[in-house]
A = this chain, B = another copy of it.
Amino acid sequence: MTAGPRHPDDGKAPRPLAELAALVSGEVLGDASTSISGVAGLEQAKAGQLSFFGNQKYKKQLAATGASAVLVPRDSPPSDRGVVFVRVDNPHLAFARIAQEFAPKRTYVRGVAAGAHVDPTAIIDATATVMAGATISAGARVGARSVVGPGCYLGERTRIGDDTVLVANVSILEECLVGSRCLLHAGVVIGADGFGFAFDPSVPAHIKIPQTGIARIEDDVEIGANSCVDRATTGETVVGFGSKLDNLVQVGHNSLIGPMTILCAQVGLAGSTELGTGVVLGGQVGVAGHLRIGDLARVGAQAGVMSEVGDGEIVNGSPQMDAKDYMRSVAVFRRLPELNRLMRDLQRRLDALEQESKKP
């Protein structure tokens, strides 16, 4: 068993606001000696805590916050309620940086726990942790300081880099590769067979196309609970470095996901989908196979991408279209019954006029 995280309540030692502001090049409007014991959202924050205000939508929450200090944009006026404001370039990012200062640092007992099942040919770094109930197969490798949690399975010849954590009940199938500094949440499956069959009417049966490729997860990737990245039919399915996938996401075989891409929950990519760098797909988006979504493109929640999306495009709808055009079409969709009535009315009036004009 491992030494656990510190309880959120026992946090880290409080620190003067000046010190934290310096980390994010912040300008303190008020008492810079204010003692900060932690961070929280505007609504949850209490005295002694630091929060952030990055979006004008949350003006009400800012006005009512219990936080002692708030990270605000550079052009913000001082608080009229005595809250200490800290002007920064990017409040959300500054919040992330400071939150990490206070986050409990989880520690793990090194070594292979009794109750873990590790093949003698597997190579586990001496600084890695393998917890009870984990199973590691022949030829697998686990890098320095990495953690294989309870119920995790590493198939034959899989490789896990350094400082990577597989939380619990994660399955990495044979030959697949996971980079360094990755975080794979509970229930993730890497390397299940791609979905490939050819129908043979003479049997009849769906004949399986063997899936002999692999899935490769690059460095600094986070994958949410119960998400799946399928192995390639041949070659590789790739999740690029620094990409972040939310829960219950499906990545089909031979998909190539560029670096720093964001896939929100329940997104599904069919086979051979290519995503460029920094693409953002909203929740429940579906993407057909054999197409490319360009660098920095953004796709609205629930959209269905059925054809190429260019670099930097912002699309929505199913099949997808320019996001602004989509919202205009949706606005008319909502008034369709009215349009329908109006058209019938025009038709009647036109009938009458035509009758009129035929009169001698």
Contact = CB atoms under 8 A, between A and B. Distances in A.
Interface residues of A, number: 136
A334 B318 CA distance: 10
A343 interface: yes
Contacts of A302: 286, 304, 318
A47 interface: no
Interface string A252-286: 10100000101011101010000000100001101
A226 B228 contact: yes
A215 to B, nearest CB: 11
A283 B270 contact: yes
Contacts of A1: 117, 119-120, 137-138
A47 B225 CA distance: 40
Given A96-B207, A208-B100, A336-B328, A246 B195 contact: yes
Given A169-B153, A173-B167, A207-B97, A340 B343 contact: no
Contacts of A349: 350, 354
Contacts of A167: 171, 173, 192
A53 B104 CA distance: 55
Interface string A270-308: 100000001000011010101000000000011010100
A104 B68 CA distance: 57
A268 B244 contact: no
A47 to B, nearest CB: 14
A145 B229 CA distance: 28
Given A193-B183, A224-B195, A244 B286 contact: no
A2 to B, nearest CB: 7
A265 B133 CA distance: 29
Interface stretch (A27-35, A36-44, A77-85): A36-44
Contacts of A224: 192-193, 195, 228
A19 interface: no
Contacts of A131: 135
B337 A329 contact: yes
Given A4-B157, A183-B193, A195-B264, 5 more contacts: A102-B212, A171-B187, A171-B225, A248-B248, A346-B347
18 contacts: A2-B138, A8-B212, A8-B214, A93-B198, A103-B210, A103-B212, A133-B134, A133-B135, A151-B171, A167-B192, A185-B192, A193-B222, A195-B246, A225-B228, A226-B228, A325-B337, A353-B353, A353-B357
**A-B pairs with lowest CB-CB distance, top 3:** A4-B156, A103-B210, A171-B186
